[in-house]
Amino acid sequence: MADLLFPKAALVACNGGCRNESCPYGCIGCGMCVAICPFDAIAINKNGVAEVNESKCQGCGACVTECPQGIIRLHEAGSPIVVKCANRDSGKAARAACQVSCIGCGICEKACPSGAARVEDNLSSIDEALCLACGMCAVKCPRHAIYDLRGVLTKIN
Amino acid sequence: MATFFVNGRSVTATKSQSLLRFLRDELRLTSVKDGCSEGACGACTVIIDGETCRACVPKTDQLEGRHIITVEGLSDWEKKLYTFAYGEAGAVQCGFCIPGMVLCTKALLDKVQDPTEKEIRHAIRNNYCRCTGYVKIIQAIQLAAKLKKEGAIPEPTETDWKLGSSVHRLDVEEKVLGYGKYPDDWYLPGMTYGSAVRSQYARARVLSIDAEKAKALPGVVAVITAEDIPGENKVGHIKHDQYSLIPVGGLTHYLGDAIALVVAEDQETLEKAKKLVKVTYEPLPAVHGPEEARLPDAPRVFDEEENNVQAYKHVARGDAEGAIAASKHVISRHFETPWTEHAFLEPECAVAYWDEDGFVRILSTDQSSHTTLHECKLLLGSEKVRVQNQLVGGGFGGKEDMSVQHHAALITYLTGRPVKVKFSRAESLLVHPKRHPFWMDFTIGCDENGIIQGVKASVYSDTGAFASLGGPVLERACTHASGPYNYQNFEIEGTAYYTNNPPAGAFRGFGVTQTCFAIESLLNEMAERIGISPWEIRYRNAIRPGQELPNGQIVGPETGLVETLEVIKPYYDAALAAGKPVGLACAMKNSGVGVGLPDWGRCKLIVEADEKVHIYSGASCIGQGLGTVLVQMVVTNTPLKREDIVYERSNTWIAPDSGDSSGSRQTLITGEACRRACEQLTSALQEKPLKALVGQEFYGEYLAKTDKLGADVPHPVSHVAYGYATQMAILDRDTGKIESMVAVHDVGKAVNPKSCEGQIEGGVVMSMGYALREQYPIDENCKPIDKFGKLGLFRAHEVPEIRAIVVDKPGLDKACGAIGIGEITSIPTAPAIAEAYYQLDGQRRTTLPLTNTPYERRG
Ligand code: SF4
Ligand code: FES
Ligand code: FES
């Protein structure tokens, strides 16, 4: 259940498929967000990338400005289907950089029943005002770049 | 292969398929509804490990070890709790979305004991309901939370089943618990699956059909083409111009035209086989809209027609032109309204089989079983057909025509096998008739006091690929274009054009939703010109008892337009005083077919062996609650109690034909027939007790007699009754969004006030969609391009406060004073909202959906 007192939560658009090695866009595991978060809501996970605990996050946005990679943004806390990738390289390069990168194939856009999933600059994004949280994109994504934060339709890590 | 738990039981899914298919087809948990299979509607919602999730999304292989709950798996206490809460709140209409909503309720209450309204809206925001406007579902969830905490379920507040009592609808339990059957919930032994191969081109000549490869595929039972049809190929409500199958050499009329029917043992083979049917075409230029259709050298949509005019109507009384010329103030404007998709939650489905008496039995979801019967008999050239209505998951006008019923009947007739024909959501969006888009030019003339002198208008509509109810819709658009006002100089002409777009037909409001937007918007502009309020101009012109409508009809003492204006006044004044942008509009809508057409209500009360009275009437409950209305009629008009009465779903062999659920007519017309049957039964009961009447039948019928359009009498009675309404929209100046809607309706006697409110809320929210966001875009190939989830239907978290007020003014001496409410709820909404936006930003908007609002669709 989303905490409606704090309808926004931070989201790190990377799931660490390259283990901070080859992707120029993703999380570098620097830990600046972890340090700045006043609510102790971010930690570096086992993939070596920052991950937000939505039940602690109060949507203050401190990490958003802090992130040197610019890959943290605020999203609707009640919207569980998210793209956790920031790689804008073309398919081939994106594939080479990471195991779970978005390659801009457009399958999510086709699968999405509500026009929420869009691919631009080789990267998928979800318009949360339109999203119905069905997760069709998460289930169909061949790269597992889209996640169900509730852990129902996809495993979290 | 995966093993997981469903309702606590361990199950193994051997082949990987969507969870929805597994739950329905293998476990037969049919409470899990298939509304789209594309993740959009939410009807298939289940709970997986405590979270609501759409069953059509995950594959069974992804679910190893998961715990899944459907409403079948609720505890007995939860079942009682939700049945009570949804019944008490009046939250159940067609019921198709309800099991999903119930599971959203459970998932929420399992986590939060005291949810706020915001949390409730959030919990159901991904599930669509097209009937209720969510208002009463939210109330049901609030009530369920309260009762869950208290740990006890009380008695219903109202238990007296007489007219005027908000008893729980009789179909609440079967819909909440999901055991009530819609056609798709039938699985018959040996049942095959049928589906149509549809045209590749909106307009083309079919040169050949080669089905050999498809027939050779193992598991294919038959491929049926036009030459196999034993009776008439062309069916239709009024005009028989809807091809059941396009023959070789024939012209296709739109992308939804069926070319061949494929029948297979299972759904997968069916899909494969459809691809193997090879059809060759000669593609021809298509007609994309009325502008093209009316050109002298336009391609003809029908080989059989001279031109593309499907219908033309001219309605005139007095001297509109002269009156306008002599008016102090004159305003002319052009208006446009879009296509709208009904978006009922249940896609079309029919099951057919040979019954024990040698009839083709059709289990259908439609707006009249008798109409389905007539059209299917025509197609089969046989009398051996019976139709039985199942639960209907919403209609709103979109289930009046043949979509799957005739195809199912034909398949069973030819193959001898039971069959299910079900539309995918995409097929449903393409095939069934939509709301007509209209283009309208209106001129109004008023004197210095704002008294209407005359109105002249000319309109045209796109009726698409076959007539459906295009003629009557055009006619109703024209007859009601005057608005509910007291003036006598009125003239309108209207034309409906065939095009190669999907067909247009009946849609809640039946043409009036369109012309009402024009006339009411003009009136708002006129009020400003004169310097009086939109309320004042309506109050000055409103039709009052004994006065003459522009159609010449003298209205009776039951006419309640003025009352709706008076009731809304304090709300209107308060909003103005608070400095809020507010808009107002009025409407009238006939109840009953009218204009001299035969309009029969028929009802049989049969005392059966269980010593109960069974109500049989060939009238569909499409979610509006007709069954409850009829039971309330019987309790009111006989000495019987609720327990003595059983409502039977409409069929064609016991239940007498009581016409379509259309034109807001069932409460009034079938209600009156039922009341008449009650008179017979009551007098029999004076002689004998009920159990001594076993085997007897009591019959009532009612002909709503009217005069035909343009009848040569001084005051033709166009319709036996009209409902009246005033609706108001209040905006929030900061957000530019709607803060609240107030809808005041004169419905005569409200049979079940809570049901009636539910109709109003649902109608208002549906038309907020029409006013602000809904579209049905069609591309250059005459192909509708949007999916269900993109139509722009309102969601629970976006719906503002809706205040539904029923003015209980004694109605006609028919049906105990009840008048239908179904359609008018949707009519004045759009012009009221348009005016509110004008008050906000000074921009007059003459097209729908309204532009420059925060609701406008992106992309
Ligand atoms: S979850 Fe569904 S609605 Fe949301 S972006 Fe993905 S496919 Fe579209
Ligand atoms: S059937 Fe699953 S969302 Fe519509
Ligand atoms: S009751 Fe919700 S869709 Fe009909």
Helix, coil or strand: residue B330: strand
Maximum pairwise Cα distance, chain A? 42
Say yes or no for a CB contact (<8 Å) between B116 and A4.
yes
Does the pLDDT value for residue A56 go beyond 80? yes
Work out the average pLDDT over B417-432: 98
Residue B624: which pLDDT band, with cuts at 50, 70 and 90? confident
Work out the average pLDDT over B616-632: 92
Backbone angles phi, psi at A74, to 5 degrees: -90, 140
Work out the average pLDDT over B647-675: 91
CB B18 within 8 A of CB B57: yes
Rounded to whole angstroms, how far apart are CA atoms A134 and A154?
A: 12
The confidence score (pLDDT) of residue A155 equals 81
Interface test with B, best of A4, A55, A128, A134 (most B CBs within 10 A): A134
The confidence score (pLDDT) of residue B709 equals 83
Q: How many CB atoms neighbour CB B61 within 10 A?
A: 12
Look-up of token digits 């591309």: B779
B206-220, B361-375, B736-750, B805-819: range with lowest mean pLDDT: B805-819
Residue B241 one-letter amino acid: D
Does the pLDDT value for residue B506 go beyond 80? yes
Provide CB contacts within 8 A for B40, sequence distance 6+: A113, A114, A132, A134, B128, B425, B787, B788, B789
Does the pLDDT value for residue A1 go beyond 50? no
pLDDT more than 90, % of chain B: 92
The confidence score (pLDDT) of residue A156 equals 67
- The size of chain A, in residues, is 157
Does the pLDDT value for residue A6 go beyond 80? no
Work out the average pLDDT over B289-307: 96
The confidence score (pLDDT) of residue B772 equals 98
The confidence score (pLDDT) of residue B51 equals 97
Say yes or no for a CB contact (<8 Å) between B39 and A2.
no
The parent domain of residue A28 ranges over 2-148
Residue A5: which pLDDT band, with cuts at 50, 70 and 90? low
Provide CB contacts within 8 A for B266, sequence distance 6+: B193, B219
Rounded to whole angstroms, how far apart are CA atoms B231 and B244?
A: 11
Is A156 a member of any domain?
Answer: no
Is A154 a member of any domain?
Answer: no
Find the CB nearest A132 among B39, B48, B111.
B39
Provide CB contacts within 8 A for A5, sequence distance 6+: none
Q: How many CB atoms neighbour CB B354 within 10 A?
A: 15
Residue A157: which pLDDT band, with cuts at 50, 70 and 90? low
CB B45 within 8 A of CB B53: yes
Rounded to whole angstroms, how far apart are CA atoms B772 and B830?
A: 8
Residue B808: which pLDDT band, with cuts at 50, 70 and 90? confident
Rounded to whole angstroms, how far apart are CA atoms A154 and A52?
A: 17
A3-17, A27-41, A47-61: range with lowest mean pLDDT: A3-17
Does the pLDDT value for residue A3 go beyond 60? no
Say yes or no for a CB contact (<8 Å) between A136 and B53.
no
Rounded to whole angstroms, how far apart are CA atoms B324 and B311?
A: 27
B10-19, B291-300, B659-668, B736-745: range with lowest mean pLDDT: B659-668
Ligand at shortest distance from the CA of B92: 3
Q: Which residues of A touch B49 (CB under 8 A)?
A: 151-152
Rounded to whole angstroms, how far apart are CA atoms B87 and B549?
A: 40
Q: What is the pLDDT of residues B177-228, one digit of tens each?
A: 999 999 999 999 999 999 999 999 999 999 999 999 999 999 999 999 999 9
Rounded to whole angstroms, how far apart are CA atoms B68 and B47?
A: 6
Q: What is the pLDDT of residues B118-135, one digit of tens each?
A: 999 999 999 999 999 999
Distances, alpha carbon B715 to alpha carbons B152, B316, B317, B592, B803, in Å: 59, 13, 11, 18, 37
pTM, rounded to two decimals? 0.96
Q: Is A58 on the interface with B (CB under 8 A)?
A: no
Rounded to whole angstroms, how far apart are CA atoms B107 and B127?
A: 13
ipTM, 2 dp? 0.94
B210-219, B355-364, B718-727: range with lowest mean pLDDT: B718-727
The confidence score (pLDDT) of residue B481 equals 96
Domains, chain B, with CATH or none: 185-285+343-430 (3.90.1170.50), 542-588+716-859 (3.30.365.10), 600-703 (3.30.365.10)
Maximum pairwise Cα distance, chain B? 81
DSSP symbols for B787-814: -GGGS----GGG--EEEEEEE-----SS
The confidence score (pLDDT) of residue A7 equals 83
Q: Which residues of A touch B69 (CB under 8 A)?
A: none
CATH number of the domain that A123 lies in? Answer: 3.30.70.20
Question: What token pair was written down for B289?
Answer: 């809209």
Query: H-type helices in A11-149, by residue range?
Result: 32-36, 62-66, 91-97, 107-111, 136-140
Q: How many domains does chain A have?
A: 1
Rounded to whole angstroms, how far apart are CA atoms B674 and B687?
A: 21
Rounded to whole angstroms, how far apart are CA atoms B150 and B180?
A: 29
Is A125 a member of any domain?
Answer: yes
Is A7 a member of any domain?
Answer: yes
Rg, Å, chain A Cα set: 14
Work out the average pLDDT over B418-433: 98
The confidence score (pLDDT) of residue A57 equals 93
Rounded to whole angstroms, how far apart are CA atoms B122 and B480?
A: 40
CB B506 within 8 A of CB B467: no
Is A14 a member of any domain?
Answer: yes
